[in-house]
Structure 1
Amino acid sequence: MHNKNRILQLLEKQNSTGLSAAEEAELDELTASGDEYLFSSDEEKEAIRQVIHHKVFAAIDISSSPIRRIRFSRKMYGYVAAACILAVVGILYWANATRQPGEVQIAAANAVLKSVLPDGSTIWLNKQSAVRYHEDFAEHRNIEITKGEVFFEVKKDAVHPFVVHAAAINTTVKGTSFSVKMLPRSGDVKVSVVTGRVAVSKAKDTLSVLLPHQRLKYHAGSKQFNRDSVSVAEANGWIDGDIVLEKASIAELADWLQTAYNISVINQTAGNTRYYYVHLSSTTSLDDAISILNLLVQQEHARFQLQGNTIILKPL
């Protein structure tokens, strides 16, 4: 443990004021010594493993260089591992500082994230999405979406219903696959079913029981809901980079742009009633996405315009 703490001290100094020649030599010796890093928990060990993976491969630009064999010295691995420990300590500090006792949090930043829950169910979190549940999840299968969109493949368990909470809407199943999406601006919630049967409720009132290819939209402002049909592609196509929006309002298009490209979108339009069908790839550039959406919304005399690091959706 003392090696890890000393490495962290040296790295912090290196990032701030720099190291002396003696300190550089000490850091080289510590990272090349071959000693195992000691982890305070399995959570820290796994988090560091993930960060090392992403940092190493992010540092290799394979798009513009011929394929060649790359050798990493023990010293380089040591630096990467130590830097990752420093980063993960900050991540875990934030998670522990914001987590309630017994609470588990999972969050996706700018990529789709897959996770297996304690009961064996699998979830995929879309970009900028997050969930939380209690550590006794296997016995009380309740999970809350705090933001974004999540696709669920629920392991069958007749004894323990699986309940997803998203704002005021609760979705209850025993074994099925479906998605739940919270729209960040309006607070609306969409539930789309791929397989099985899903009960959607608000408080003690059942709003609807959905079958495959059915969707419920709950409108937070009016506290009303409607049910329609939906394709599997909209429910889970984004997992494989296939973006499908069906019967989406102009406000939903703005929400999607903000989430997909991690950019601020200001919507200056109001009272638009048209709905749109959009099919894009996750590899579509921001400029191309804006051009495609502008072809659609010109019918409403509106336009998406990129201004610096912000997109303005304005009436024409």
Structure 2
Amino acid sequence: MNQCVRYLSPASLPISAAWLPVAGGHRLYVEEHGEPDGIPVLVLHGGPGSGNSRAHLQFFAAGRYRVVLPDQRGAGRSEPAGCCEYNTTVDLLDDIESLRRALGFERWLVVGGSWGATLGLLYAAAHQQCVGGLLLRNPFLARACDFDAFFGGQKAHFPLAWHAWEKLGAPGAPGAMLPWLVEEFATAGSVRLQSLVEAWHGWESALSGSPVRSLSAGEIAGLLQRYRLQCHYFGQSCFLPDNAVFSAAVSVAAAGLPVRVVQGMSDLVCPPAGASALLERLPSATCDGVPGVGHDPFAPAMQGAMRAALAHLAAGWR
């Protein structure tokens, strides 16, 4: 990689920031960064419900890309904030296509991490002619076994983080944690909700290898919005059949779309085994395993791998 290449900065001002009205009374907050005439790239954030981040800009070489950062329905600065009504995977996929048409792109590169990789693959399968290439980081497969593995499947490895759930009454039986959590977020009062948010944040931190820290009132409010959206999606299996992501991968492979997968080899949220299973359906895809990196998209080694993968996709852009 050429060390003289400059990359976009998270501190940069957008070339455009606007709200896009979509069906069901939602408005998506959308920023564009980089070059107006650059290669168009859609960045799909994770969660569901996390909201986009300008930190993703550091993956992109300056002067080469037009980077589109939308917040999905109910997430980030999109409105109504945290709204679960008219908020399903089909709605999010329709929104992506509405955004492409509104921006006037014939095709774009699609970059997604975790849940964003799920959406990117589903979108590419449904709109093959609109996607010039896919970059999937630590893909989430949205199978029943993936939900079970995240919610309780790692409790023996992280007893302290699990103990915070146990103190709140979380069940330890396989498959029982998620229905309990969905019910809790639907019915709990404000004090208990704060405890649930803190326990969930601690659990995520443990699995991702991040230090556990105290949360401010503002951070708790933001995480509550995000976790409610995740409960809405996870409680409905992300509104997908169990093997929908695999089916999408088969369609993308049959269409011959360029696909690169970047996988943190220490990720316990979206483990490498999931990426391996996905790659069996994407025989022409290239996979870059990143040793010693978990779910953090901005770890230095992951950042380097994402930059290199993007450069390869951009080199084939026509």
TM-score band, normalised by the shorter chain? under 0.3
TM-score computed with the length of structure 1 as normaliser: 0.23
| Bigger proportion of residues as strand | 1
Larger radius of gyration: 1
TM-score computed with the length of structure 2 as normaliser: 0.23
Structure with the larger RCO, 1 or 2 (CA within 8 Å, 6+ apart): 2
| Bigger proportion of residues as helix | 2
